[in-house]
Amino acid sequence: MTTAGPSTVPRSFAARHPVDAEALYARAAADRLGFWAEQARHLAWDKPFTTVLDDTEAPFHRWFPDGTLNASANCLDRHVAAGLGDRVAYHWHGEEGETRTITYAGLLDEVQRFANALKGLGVTAGDVVGIHLPMIPEAVVAMLACARIGAVHNVVFGGFAPQAVGERMAACGARVLVTVDGARRKGRVTAVKQALDETLETLPGLEHVVVVGATGAPCPMRPGRDSWYGDLCAAAGPDCPAVPLPAEHPLFLLYSSGSTAAPKGIVHTTGGYLTGVTYTHRLVFDLDPDHDVWFCTADIGWITGHSYLVYGPLANGVTSVLFEGAPDHPHKGIWWELVERYGVTQLYTAPTAIRAAMSWGEELPGRHDLSSLRLLGSVGEPINPTAWHWYHRVIGGGRCPVVDTWWQTETGSIMIAPLPGTTAKPGSAARPLPGVSAALLDADGTPVTNGTGLLTLTQPWPSMLRTLHGDDERYLSTYFSRFGKETYVVGDAARLDEDGHFWILGRTDDVINVSGHRLSTAEMESAIAAHPAVADAAVVAVPDELTGQAVVAFVTPADGRAGDAALEAELREHISVRIGKLARPKRVVWTEALPKTRSGKIMRRLLRDLVTGRPTGDVTTLGEPAVMDALTAAVAHPAH
C-alpha cells in the first residue's frame, strides 16, 4: 500500500450535519458504557434496559440483557406509527429495467403477511429459516418476517452453488428454506429451485421450501414440502404483531469463511447488533433520513447487505435503492443511471467495483448528472489511493467526502472510518469510531504505536458476534486465544501512523478476499481435491487489479492425468458448482508435488512468494526442498 507522496495528501470535507468529532471521542472515552447506552436509546424498546453490559462470562458478552425489543418493529412499525408510512423504503430496480416503489407501510403489510405464513408452517421463535434469494424485495421481506416472530434467519449468498447452500442449511438445522424459481444474471436465467432439489433431498430436517416466483423458470414442486410464496401470502392474515424479544435473542446466523474447510456460523443478536448498525449508519454517512436516498451496492447475502442495505437504513427510516443486477448489465453505466434517476445522495460500494469503473473510463459516469451525491463510501477491502482519488474526482465531482470503512462479518458494523467533516487520508481507514477501542500488537502482544502489527479490538462493542453457532470452543480459539479473553484478534495486519490513523494491510490467515467476499482456502482446496482427476491441491491469493485478490490454484493431477487446458476448464466448472463462480481460480499451476513441512502442512507462504515474484526465503522446514525448483519452473513456464 502506498504510504507517501501526493496520493496520501489529507483531505477535509464539509458535512451537512457536522459533528464535533473530538468532543464525541472524549465523551465516549469518559463513559464508554454510557455512550453505548445513549446510542441504544435511539431504538424503540418494549422494555427499557437497565444493564448496559454483562461481561461476567467474557468473552461471551451480553449487551442490554434485561431489555426487550423487536428488530422488525424498529425497522417498520415505529416509522409508520410516526406518520412516515408513505415514505419510500426501497426503489427496487430489476435487471431488465423493471421497477417497484415500496413504501414503509407497504413493506410492513407484506412482512406481516409472510410472518403469518411462516407461523402457519410451524415456525416459532428460535427456529432457523434459510433464505437463498437474489436481490429482490422478497429477500428483505423474508428477513424482517423472521425477525418479527423471533425466528433466526440464515441468508446464503444467491451465487452459491447447491452443495454450498445445502451444507449451510444442514449446519444451522434450518426448518424452512425460502428460495426462488429462477435467478437472472446478465440476461441469463438460472433455474435455482430445480438445481437445489437434489441437495434438498439430503436434508431430512428441512420441513418446508417456500419458492418465490420471480422468472417463470422450470420449478418442480414436491407436494407437502414445497409452497409458492405468493400463495402463502395471499392466504395469510394481514396482522402479525411484532414479538418483544430479549436483546440477546439471536437475530441471524451468517456463515463466513474461516481458515478451515468448515464455514463459521457467526451469531448476531438483536439489541446490540441493531444498536451498532443504526449508530454507525447515522454517524459515518452523515445521514438525513428526511432527504437522503441511500444506495448500498452489496448483495443481501453478505454482511454489508444485512447491515447497510436492510437493518441500518430501515431502522434509521431512510429511502434506499435496491438493485438486482450486475454493475455492467444492461450496460456499464447502470449505476450512474440509477444515481441520476433516484437522486442518490450516498453511494456505498467496494474498491473492486470502483476499479472496474475506472477501467471502463470516465465517459460513462460523465454522461449522467451525479450532482445529487454528497458522500461516497468504500467497503470490503482496503482501497488504494489511486482508486480513492478517482472515486472522489470522477464520481464525487471533487466535492464528496470519501469514507473508507473497515469492519467484518464478526463485528456486525463499522469499526474504523473517517467521520464526515474530518480529515481523511486516501487509502487509510482513519481512526476507530467513538466507542470502539482498537490497537496494534506485535507477535508478543506489545502495543505498536507507530508501525505495523496485528489489528485487535480491546473492548467489547454491542454489535460483536456472540459466538459461532454450535461451537463455543472455536469462537474462543479463533478470536480470543492469542492475547487473552479481553482482546479480540481480528486476523488483519495494519499500520498505525504518527497521527493515529490505521492503514489496513490485509488478512494474516488463510482466507482470500475476492471482490470483498472472504473465501476459505481450505474450503476451496477441499472442493478441488474432490475432483477425481486431482491428487492434491493448494490455493493462494495474488493481487488483482480488478478484484483486489484473485485465486491461484496449485494442482497435482491424479492417476497420470495430464494437467492441460481441458482439465483446467473442468476444475473451474467443478469449483463453480461446489462453491460458486467467484471461487474459480484465475490461474491453475500444475505440479507433481506441493511444498510441505515434514509434518505434511502445506507452506502456502512459499506459493504466494512464487506467484507474486517475491524471494521465497527460508525453506529449511520443507520436507523436500527440491520441490521448489520444479514449482519455480512451473510458475515461470505455464504448460499452456
Q: Is the pLDDT at 10 greater than 50, yes or no?
A: no
Residue 364 Cα distances to 121, 314, 334, 357, 360, angstroms:
48, 31, 9, 9, 7
> Is pLDDT of 538 > 90?
no
Give the separation between CA 231 and CA 213, rounded to whole angstroms.
10
The phi and psi torsions of 227 (rounded to 5 degrees) equal -135, 150
| Whether the predicted pLDDT of 168 surpasses 70 | yes
- 263-281 confidence digits (pLDDT tens): 789 999 999 999 999 999 9
Q: Is the pLDDT of residue 635 over 90?
A: no
Q: DSSP assignment, residue 500?
A: S
In a 13 Å sphere around the CA of 333, the CA atoms on its Cβ side amount to 13
Quick one: cell of 196?
437445489
Higher per-residue pLDDT: 385 or 85? 85
Q: What angle do CA 592, 596, 600 make, to 5 degrees?
A: 110
Among the listed residues 71, 77, 95, the one whose alpha carbon sits nearest the alpha carbon of residue 182: 95
Burial of 238 (0-12, 13-18, 19+ CB in 10 A): exposed
pLDDT band at 618 (very low <50, low <70, confident <90, very high): low
- pTM, 2 dp: 0.84
Q: Could you give the 3-state DSSP secondary structure of residue 309?
A: helix
Peptide bond into 218 cis (omega under 30): no
Task: Give the residue, 532 or 133, on which the prediction is more confident.
Answer: 133
Cell 415514505, located at residue: 87
Kindly indicate the confidence band of residue 368, based on its pLDDT and cuts at 50, 70 and 90.
very high
> What are the beta bridge partners of residue 594?
none
> Minimum mean pLDDT among 238-252, 450-464, 525-539, 621-635: which range?
621-635
Three-state DSSP state, 42: coil
Its CATH architecture, for the domain 514-636, is 2-Layer Sandwich (3.30)
- Answer yes or no: are the C-beta atoms of 102 and 321 closer than 8 Å: no
Taking 90 as the threshold, does the pLDDT of residue 365 lie above it? yes
Residues 68-80 as b/e (b if ≥16 CB within 10 A, e otherwise) read bbbbbbbbbbbbb
Q: Is 122 exposed, middle or buried (0-12, 13-18, 19+ CB in 10 A)?
A: exposed
Band of residue 3 on the pLDDT scale cut at 50, 70, 90: very low
154 in Cβ contact with 132 (< 8 Å):
no
* pLDDT at 407 > cutoff 50: yes
pLDDT in tens, 114-164: 999 999 999 999 999 999 999 999 999 999 999 999 999 999 988 888 988
**CA gap 549, 510 in Å, rounded:** 13
For residues 446 and 440, what is the distance between their CA atoms, to the nearest angstrom? Answer: 8
CB 145 within 8 A of CB 251: no
pLDDT digit string, tens, across residues 542-598: 888 888 889 999 998 887 788 899 999 999 999 988 888 888 999 999 988 888 755
Mutual angle of helices 162-172 and 565-578, in 10-degree steps: 30
- The angle formed by the CA atoms of residues 94, 99 and 311, to the nearest 5 degrees, is 75
Counting residues of the chain whose pLDDT is more than 90, the rounded percentage is 68
Alpha helical stretches, state H, 446-564: 472-479, 521-529
Q: What is the pLDDT of residues 202-214, one digit of tens each?
A: 999 999 999 999 9
| Region class of 352: left (phi > 0), else alpha (psi between -120 and 50), else beta | alpha
Q: Where are the domains of the chain?
A: 447-507, 514-636
**How high is the pLDDT of residue 258?**
52
Residue-level pLDDT at 364: 95
CA distances for 428 relative to 12, 128, 304, angstroms? 14, 38, 19
Residue whose cell numbers read 492425468: 561
The Cα–Cα gap between 163 and 70 comes to 33
Q: Is the pLDDT of residue 465 over 60?
A: yes
Q: In this structure, are residues 178 and 193 in contact, taking their beta carbons and an 8 Å threshold?
A: no
Counted residue by residue, the chain has a size of 640
Supply the angle between the helices 521-529 and 565-578 in degrees, to the nearest 10.
120
Residue 291 has pLDDT above 60, yes or no: yes
Neighbours of 380 (CB within 10 A): 25
Q: Report the relative pairing of strands 438-441 and 423-424 from DSSP bridges.
A: unpaired
Strand partners, 495: 452, 503
Q: How far is residue 218's CA from residue 195's CA, in Å, rounded to a whole number? A: 10
pLDDT value at 2 more than 60: no
Distance CA 640, CA 631 (A): 15
270-284 and 32-40 helices, crossing angle to 10°: 90
Interstrand relation of 62-63 and 53-54 (parallel, antiparallel or unpaired)? antiparallel
565: enclosing H helix or E strand: helix 565-578
Q: Is the peptide bond before 401 cis (omega within 30 degrees of 0)?
A: no
| Topology of the domain covering 447-507 | Luciferase; domain 3 (2.30.38)
Query: Over the chain, what is the mean pLDDT?
Result: 90
Q: CA–CA separation, 549 vs 551, rounded Å? A: 7
Q: How far apart are CA 349 and CA 515, in angstroms?
A: 10
What are φ and ψ of residue 520, in 5° steps?
Answer: -75, 130
Work out the average pLDDT over 423-448.
Answer: 92
Query: Could you read off the pLDDT of 478-522 as tens digits, one per residue?
Result: 999 999 999 999 988 888 999 999 988 777 766 787 877 777 676
Residue type, 137: P
